Structures are given as structure tokens and as C-alpha cells.
Structure 1
Amino acid sequence: MISHSTRAEVVRSAFPTLACGVVQVGGISAAPDASVAIRPHVDRARERLAHQSEGDLPEIQAWRRVVSVMGLKPTQYRCASEALLRRLRKEGTLPSLHPLIDVCNAVSVGFAIPIAVFDIEKVDGGLSVRPAQGNERYVSFSGTIKAPEAGEIIFADDAGRAHARRWTNRHGQISAVGTHTMDALIVAEALHPHSPSDMEHLGFSLCEAVRAVWPKAMVKDWSTP
């Protein structure tokens, strides 16, 4: 069982403007309808997209710079929030996968900040954001098993399994939230100007939305480690 994620000192040193927020939620299910809780966040994203494209948003520009620093093409390896915003702009809606994922995706596009959600029971020990050694095990949603490249920033657990690749670009299958998920860890990260204050606002909005969908859920205090 984990209560938080940590960031390797090398990540903190390389990206000193990094702001993050973490919350653990328990007692959830796949039964509720989250549409009312997600609507204001999706509407906020649509309003922003009506005036500028996702690539022009300062939150996304900050992540594009990070992707470039990692030696990747920003338009090929988009952070999760940019990918969702792009889909919202092109298709007018977001996919409905699981109420918790839907809530996180809606808040993510509303703030243009990537949010990752993990099934805690499928994480071995602690979860850290660190450079890969190159021998970690990553399972894609298609079932393909790969090892991330050495130096690539990943979400890794104590068993050396990679739960997300290229930092906020690609979540894996191992800890994906599904119909049997009851406890989850939610992690948000940002690097743009004013990201600490935005992270606090995001945390409040996210926890409020989770409580609205699951009134009896255990929602721990939002922390910004």
C-alpha cells in the first residue's frame, strides 16, 4: 500500500519549477455517473480552446519544453493533458472509461495539467518518479512488454515495474484503474509559471469532484510534496 509518490532528487534538480500534488482515494467503484461533476471542467477547457489552441497554453508549453529537454519531439510525445485537450478540440468530447478516470481527465483538461491515476493494489511498495535504469518492466495497454530506455523518466514501483513512460506521456496497463478498483492514487504535475497556486486549486477541485461522485469515499488531504 502506498500513500504518496516521490520524485528522485535528480528530477527535482533538473526541473526546479516542478509542482506536484498527490491524493489517495478509497472506497470507490465503477458504478456512479460522473457526468455532472465533470461538466464544469470540460466546459472550462472548451472556453480556453475557443480562444487559443492547446499548444499555446502556458501549461502545455512548459511540458513541451520538458519533452524537448528529454530529447523527444513535443508533437510526437505529448503530455497527457495536451493529448486530451487535442482530442477535445478535434472531437468535441472526451472518452468515457471509468468514472474516476473521467473525473481526472476532466480536471486535467480544465487546468491543462497532466493527472495520472493508479490502482494502488497493483503497485508494489512505493511509487517514485525517476530516471529509468533500462531494466524495468513496462506493459502497454496492447499487452506488449518493453523496457523503458535508460534515463527516460518513469513512474516506477519498488519491484522495478514502470507504471508510466516518458514521464506524463504514456500510462501502462499494470496499474490501470478498472471495474474492480477500490483504492487509487492520483498524481498531478506542472511546471508553468504560477504552478504551485494552480496545483492547490486543482487539488481542491479534484477532491470536490471525487466527493461529489462518491460521497462515502475516503479522500485523504491533498498534499504537495
Structure 2
Amino acid sequence: MISIHLPLKLSVIRVTGTRVTREDGPYRALNALAARCREQHGEQPISEFPGVQAARQLFRSIGIEPTNHRPSSEALLRRALKDKGFHQVNSAVDVINWCSLDFMLPICAYDLGKIAGDIVLREGRPGEAYEGLNHRMVNLEGRYALLDAEGPFGSPITDSRRTAISEESTDLLCLILAPSDFDPERLAAFGQTLGERLCEGQGQFEATVVASSE
């Protein structure tokens, strides 16, 4: 289903039959985690925060300078430490943000029903772009790019509107991105935790760790 053409590991979580709601439990958990981050690490530089360097390594491995184009996990951390708050979207997106801040790794999340055919993860080419969740065009040249039969739809900076999760979504695909030398058992545990938090008794999930064969 997913072919990888870049040096990294993925935890692939496929969720079926879940319910996406406005329930605020995950959002409250996200804010509680943010408060702990401020309390425990608020005075130290971002670069010394536990886990930050893994996501930065992930970006630098294909020539992206993470201080210019931040991984989504680090963007969440910066909001947490500055007490800027988070956008409450829906239960699934709030879980993704909660887990990304918890694991300090970027997580991509999509409505599986909106993805066409097989998925390729590779470096973006000139001219490849999509409309992001922030309504801005996301240029993928030289960056991590996820593509399906209809073209590009995702990256660990921000995802696309085309495959966005809504309250009508029931089947989800989530990808936790990690550097190629990341501990596979730890990554597998992250996938398990994400699946459990997404389902909470509603639906089922499968989580597997895959790596590039190149």
C-alpha cells in the first residue's frame, strides 16, 4: 500500500470503523501535556528538549533545514512552551496533535476513503504542491511528499485539504515519521498508543513499522 523512497522509518496505523466527534477529551489531554512541557522544560532551549533532535535529523537527512521549515511536532512544542494554545478541530485531529507533542515526531493523518490507490513517499519534485490545511499552497519540491493516484496530498509540515479528516470520516490512515536509525520497538509502541487513543473502543486498528528498502 505504501512504498518508501527515502531514508526513514514509518509507523503505519490504519483505523477502521471509528467515530470522529467534537468530544473534547483529547483536546484537554493535549493542553494538559502542553502545561507539563512548560512546567518541566519551559526554561531550556528548544534544541535541548527531549526528542526534538530526532525530528530535526529526519528533515536534515534529505537536506531540509528544520529551523527554516519546522517539523509539525516542533511547531506544536513551540506553541506549547509559549502558551499560545491550539486549534480545536475534532477528536481525531486533537489526538494526532496530542500524540505528536507526546512522541516529538511528526504525524500525518488522513481520511483513508479520500486516498486514491497506492501511496508513495518520496522527495517532492519541481511544481508539486497542494492546498494545505491552512488554505495556503504547500510547495513540495525537495521535501517529504506523499502521493496517491491523484497526486500529492501530504507532508510532515502540513497536510492537504483534499484528504483531511472530518466528522464524517470512519477509516483513517496515520503515519508517524522517524529517522532511519530510530528504535523500531519504540516506534511500534508509539503506533500502538496512537491507535488506542484514536479508537477508544470505537473501531479497530492495525499498526506496523516499515522502513525504506533502498
Question: TM-score, normalization: structure 2?
Answer: 0.82
- Quick one: which amino acid aligns to residue 82 of structure 1? E
Match of 2:95 among 98, 103, 115: 103
Q: Which runs of 5+ in 1 are unaligned?
A: 13-17
For 1:122, the aligned partner's letter is: K
Change (3 A) 1:53 1:34: farther
State which of 195, 198, 201 in structure 1 corresponds to 2:183.
195
The superposition leaves residues 38-58 of structure 1 with CA deviations (integer Å, 9 ceiling, x where unpaired) of 62x654554345234443235
Q: Which residue of 2 aligns with 1:7?
A: 4
Q: 2:147 — aligned with what? A: 156
**1:156-195 deviation digits (Å, cap 9, x = unpaired):** 1123x11124xx1121111111122121101101128653
**d(CA) in 1 for partners of 2:193, 2:160:** 26
Decide whether aligned partners of structure 1 residues 89 and 156 sit closer, same or farther in structure 2, where only a CA change above 3 A counts: same
1:223 aligns with 2:208: yes
Q: Which residue of 2 aligns with 1:185?
A: 173
Name the SS for the 1:77 alignment partner.
coil
2:105 is aligned with 1:119 = no
Q: Which runs of 5+ in 2 are unaligned?
A: none
Q: Bigger shift: 196-205 or 74-83?
A: 196-205
Q: How many residues align?
A: 207
Matched to 1:178, the amino acid is S
1:18-56 Cα offsets, whole Å, 9 max, x none, are: 3321111122333252516862x6545543452344432
Cα distance between partner residues in 2 of 1:205 and 1:79: 20
Residue number in structure 1 paired with 2:65: 73
Structure 2 match to 1:30: 20
1: CA distance between counterparts of 2:165 and 2:46? 26
Whether the 8 Å CA contact 1:24–1:186 is kept in 2: the answer is yes
Amino acid corresponding to residue 152 of structure 1 in structure 2: R
Label 1:46 to 1:200 Cα distance change in 2 as closer, same or farther (>3 A). Answer: farther
Distance 1:191 1:146, change over 3 A: closer
Q: In the aligned structure 2, how far is the partner of 1:181 from the partner of 1:119?
A: 6
Overall identity of the aligned pairs, in %: 23
Q: Give 3-state SS (helix, strand or coil) of 1:203's partner.
A: helix
**Normalising by the residue count of structure 1, what TM-score does the alignment of the two structures yield?**
0.78
What CA distance in whole angstroms lies between the structure 1 residues aligned with 2:64 and 2:157?
11
Distance in 2 of aligned mates of 1:191 and 1:197: 13
Higher relative contact order (CA 8 A, sep 6+): 2
Supply the distance in 1 between the matched residues of 2:177 and 2:204 (Cα, whole angstroms). 22
**1:5 partner amino acid:** I
Contact 1:59/1:191 (8 A) holds in 2: no
Say which is worse superposed, 87-96 or 113-122, in terms of deviation. Answer: 87-96
Distance verdict in 2 for CA 1:93–1:201, change over 3 Å: farther
